[in-house]
Chain A
């Protein structure tokens, strides 16, 4: 927290600040009369028969977010994942706590860029597969250290 740059002297009802001070006193507090106040709601009539059945309302977070601390939203750009239902400008829900496994759609850092691909283990070979025939697969070699940024769990697509 930033340190308050002035010295503070506290007197009874005003704060005095150095060096040259303008001090304002509020008007005298008016005398208070304490009046009784009826607290709580007074209800009359027949109690609602549904009152016992009130569920919580539906929250999309429950559906889309398992681990809030590890969940990030990102925006997709490009068309290589159309086959997986990821369109340009869609929002992806990414869970970083999930293990990247074969078949999962992942976000990884490739050449300093965050890229979306499907991670596949096929013919003893790990690859990053695009979901669009126009785009080639990306072979993962032993010398390449791939950092998986997170696993995509949902797509939010506006119609």
Chain B
């Protein structure tokens, strides 16, 4: 049977890494292939990525690690701390491989990207063969298994990807350009699996007799827009093959940068909090410089553990506008220390603190210099550039002194793998024996 494709239809793909974090770990740990592996969130808290073997054991996403301790022993589960340097690097590699298949790529998250194949002749000719080639190339070159979903809209591509992941018979590749196939699938997929619907919305849809994706696709977009929102109307149109969402290929710079962590132990004194705050300020400034931006406003916040109900609770935040937008670690860290002194109250056990930078704008030509402003005298883009260069070659090589006073607050990462791809000292070992 040949599929008749309207030449005006778009052809959108969604490529998504399978169990991305676990797959990243397995690239350098072939011994973990076929074994139950999960990656934990910051501070070794909850499961954020699960291998198929873990899913088969019925262990749910987001479960706290301590709740499955008995299963860990019983099934020899490998629980790993999250190694974001590794995941970010492999993600960038995956995206750059995807760019060889179409010039139009929207990096949607660390492990998924939308690709526009509308004008890619080879893909139009044989979408499945092209998608398989993508899957094989990413697997071979980067080592990450992916699934590819295709469809005339982003929402359908996402649905196709969902189905390709769920049903092994697809071989990890599915095209939903064909209407009959689309109808068949939509009738068996619950509505909460549609991109943007989720469990909360589906609770409101079920009383209206909408249980499957097909039920939703049959609704009138206008009526549903009145009842819900324009987003809902768009979703319905997209499910019917009418493209309403374009690919966003230009990544906007982040408008807010937040750096915060939960502590491995409770901190009570200003002396303990200060190094953590200084580190967050430096990291936030570094991120700011990476996107060539400056910030106009810095915020410091801290809080106690909201789950420790018997302990006194306190949370507070404060902000300060900068005289001149800056990206200098020293200036930002200095302001954050002042803010910390303002919001800190003795007598509480703090569990988390952090820094937020806002009013971010791109770093263009400096404004007219002000002869008498001390902040500007201190400001040194060259120094910051040098600092970043040194730290790229020798990670954490240079830091503001405050950050090194006390590092015992650092979140737990007891099972952290090496930074195989971003640090010369941590390369994977290959054996000649």
Chain B proximity of A71: nearest CB distance (Å) = 9
Contacts of A116 in B (CB 8 A): 430-432
Whether B405 is near chain A, meaning CB under 8 Å from some CB there, is no
Tell me which of B14-22, B56-64, B253-261 binds A: B253-261
| Closest chain A CB from B344 CB (angstroms) | 10
A19 surroundings in chain B (CB, below 8 A): 315-316
A96 to chain B, nearest CB (A): 5
Assembled-state Cα–Cα distance A35/B371 (Å): 12
In the complex, whether B322 has a CB less than 8 A from a CB of chain A is yes
Interface residues on B, range: 35 or more
**Contact between chains at B256 and A70 (CB < 8 Å):** no
Q: Mark A111-126, 1 if CB is under 8 A from B, else 0.
A: 0111110000000000
Q: Is B373 an interface residue (CB 8 A)?
A: yes
Whether a CB of chain A sits under 8 angstroms from the CB of B429 is: yes
26 chain-A/chain-B pairs, Cβ below 8 angstroms: A2-B260, A5-B315, A17-B299, A17-B301, A19-B316, A24-B320, A25-B321, A32-B370, A34-B368, A68-B96, A69-B141, A72-B420, A73-B424, A75-B429, A76-B432, A77-B431, A79-B432, A81-B432, A92-B430, A107-B430, A109-B30, A113-B30, A114-B430, A114-B431, A115-B432, A149-B143
Cα(A26)–Cα(B256), bound, Å: 20
Could you tell me the distance in whole angstroms from the C-beta of A97 to the nearest C-beta in chain B? Answer: 5
Bound together, the chains give a CA A33 to CA B370 distance in angstroms of: 9
Bound-state Cα–Cα, A16 to B367, Å:
27
Contact mask B306-332 → A, CB, 8 Å, 1/0? 000000000111111111000000000
Q: Which of B140, B316, B338 contacts A97 (CB 8 A)?
A: B140
Q: Do the beta carbons of A115 and B430 come within 8 Å of each other?
A: yes
Determine if A21 and B30 form an interchain contact, defined as CB atoms under 8 angstroms apart.
no
A80 to B258 alpha-carbon distance, docked (Å): 49
Chain B minimum-CB-distance residue to A13: B321
Which residues of B have CB within 8 Å of A25? 321
Q: Check: A47 CB closer than 8 A to any chain B CB.
A: no
Query: Hey, which bits of chain A sit against chain B, CB under 8 A?
Result: 1-2, 4-6, 13-17, 19-27, 29-30, 32-35, 67-70, 72-82, 86, 88, 91-92, 96-97, 107, 109, 112-116, 130, 132, 135, 147, 149
Say whether, besides A107-B430, A113-B431, A114-B30, A20 and B368 are in contact (CB < 8 Å): no
> Are A5 and B431 touching (Cβ within 8 A)?
no
Q: Which residue of A lies closest to B427 (CB)?
A: A75
* A-B pair number, CB within 8 angstroms: 149
| With A24-B342, A132-B432 already in contact, 15 other A-B pairs whose C-beta atoms are closer than 8 Å | A2-B258, A4-B256, A5-B303, A17-B316, A19-B315, A26-B323, A30-B372, A32-B368, A35-B368, A69-B93, A69-B94, A73-B424, A77-B432, A78-B431, A80-B432
B97 contacts the other chain (CB 8 A):
yes
CA gap between A114 and B367 in the complex, in Å: 55
User: How far, in whole Å, are A44 and B315 apart by their CA atoms in the complex?
Assistant: 62
Interface of B is mostly: mixed
Q: Tell me whether A97 and B141 are in contact (CB under 8 A).
A: yes
Report the Cα distance A147→B33, complex, angstroms: 12
Does B31 sit within 8 A of A, measured CB to CB? yes
Cβ of B198 to closest chain A Cβ, rounded Å: 16
Would you call B432 and A130 a contact (CB within 8 A)? yes
CB–CB B141/A67 < 8 A: yes
**A23 contact set on B, CB distance < 8 A:** 318-319
A114 lies within 8 A of B254 (CB): no
The answer to whether A15 and B343 touch (CB under 8 A), given A4-B256, A67-B141, is no
A68-B317 Cα distance, complex, nearest whole Å: 43
Q: How far is the CA of A79 from the CA of B66 in the complex (A)?
A: 43
Q: Is the CB of A5 within 8 A of B343?
A: no
Q: Which residues of B contact A109 (CB under 8 A)?
A: 30, 33
B358 within 8 A of A: yes
On whether the beta carbons of B93 and A17 are closer than 8 Å, the reply is no
Chain A residue at minimum C-beta to C-beta distance from B306: A5
Contact flag A76-B430 (CB < 8 Å), given A1-B254, A32-B368: yes
The minimal Cβ–Cβ distance linking A10 to chain B, given in whole angstroms, is 9
Tell whether, in the assembled complex, residue B31 and residue A113 are in contact, meaning their CB atoms are under 8 Å apart: yes
Confirm or deny: B433 has a beta carbon within 8 angstroms of a beta carbon on chain A.
Answer: yes
Complexed CA–CA distance, A78 and B297 (Å): 54
